[in-house]
Amino acid sequence: MAKERIDYTEHYSLVADAMTSRGLLLGSYDAQGKPNIMTIGWGALGSIWGIPAWIVLVRPSRYTFRCIEHTGCFSVNVPTESLARACASAGSTSGADVDKFTELGLTAEKAASVLAPVVAECPVHYECRVVHSNDVLPEKLTDEIRSGAYQDGDFHRVYWGRILGSYAVSGAADLLSGR
Ligand SMILES: Cc1cc2nc3c(=O)[nH]c(=O)nc-3n(C[C@H](O)[C@H](O)[C@H](O)COP(=O)(O)O)c2cc1C
């Protein structure tokens, strides 16, 4: 299905619903140009420094971490409920070991404006270029969050991605809300 450009604020609450339930798919290329996806449940879509942005948190242990460090780009793809099992799998296997697109029967398409793959089966996606990154600092965390999210260390790197393009298929809202 062909996608059209949309305003980044369109579908905002449906995107938040997807992120906090099945998760979103973060797309990136590795140094060899192999496309990879990983599931993310934490992130923020908004306006920062007057530009549309996605903030995503990636632990250094992820293959995706190496990919984004290499390309400086990522895509955020919003799956329908029918892709919930694919999200669970993309969130428990690593691109270091498997080709997740092939394994999950998903289609990697080239993004229009960044060096990152987009997931054709997702009705909405965002194309982002990293404009800033910083690491979560243990000493700046509350005890509650440090003990809850970082028992094994592996403190996230926070990527601030400028959204260079937001895209959706026609009828994306119905597809995302399962109507
Ligand atoms: C629902 C869900 C949400 C997740 N959210 C994140 C996240 O926000 N950041 C992160 O680093 N890992 C997150 N993960 C874990 C990664 O998706 C998982 O470790 C994945 O296998 C990494 O793939 P990669 O090695 O190919 O990058 C999440 C997993 C699931 C199932």
Domain-wise residue ranges, the chain: 3-177
By most ligand atoms within 8 Å of CB, the mutation choice from 24, 39, 99, 136 for ligand 1 is 39
The Å distance, Cα 91 to ligand 1 centre, comes to 5
pLDDT value for 179: 84
Average pLDDT score over residue span 153-161 = 98
Report pLDDT for 120: 98
Please tell me the distance between residue 150's alpha carbon and the centre of ligand 1 in angstroms. Answer: 14
Ligand 1, closest atom to CA 88?
31
Please provide the size of the chain in residues.
179
What would the mean pLDDT of 127-151 be, rounded to a whole number?
A: 97
pLDDT in tens, 2-22: 999 999 999 999 999 999 999
Q: Is 94 exposed, middle or buried (0-12, 13-18, 19+ CB in 10 A)?
A: middle
Q: Tell me the DSSP string of the chain.
A: --EEE--TTTTHHHHHHHHHTT-EEEEEE-TT--EEEEEE--EEEEEETTEEEEEEEE-TTSHHHHHHHHHSEEEEEE--GGGHHHHHHHTTS-TTT--HHHHHT--EEE-SSSSSEEETTSSEEEEEEEEEEEEPPGGGS-HHHHHHH-TT--PPEEEEEEEEEEEEETTHHHHHHT-
Cα angle 114-174-127, degrees, rounded to a multiple of 5? 5
Interval 19-41: pLDDT, tens = 999 999 999 999 999 999 999 99
pLDDT class of 1 with cuts at 50, 70, 90 = low
Using the mean position of ligand 1's atoms as its centre, give its distance from the Cα of residue 82 in Å. Answer: 19
* Residue 95 pLDDT level (bands cut at 50, 70, 90): very high
Which CATH superfamily hosts domain 3-177?
Answer: Electron Transport, Fmn-binding Protein; Chain A (2.30.110.10)
pLDDT in the model for residue 169:
98
Q: Is the pLDDT of residue 99 over 80?
A: yes
Q: What is the pTM of this model?
A: 0.98
Residues 122, 125: Cα–Cα separation, whole Å: 7
C-alpha span between 121 and 109 (Å, rounded): 10
Instruction: Please identify, by atom number, the ligand 1 atom nearest to the C-alpha of residue 56.
Output: 8
In the chain, the percentage of residues whose pLDDT exceeds 90 is: 98
Per-residue pLDDT, averaged over 71-83, amounts to 98
pLDDT at 34: 98
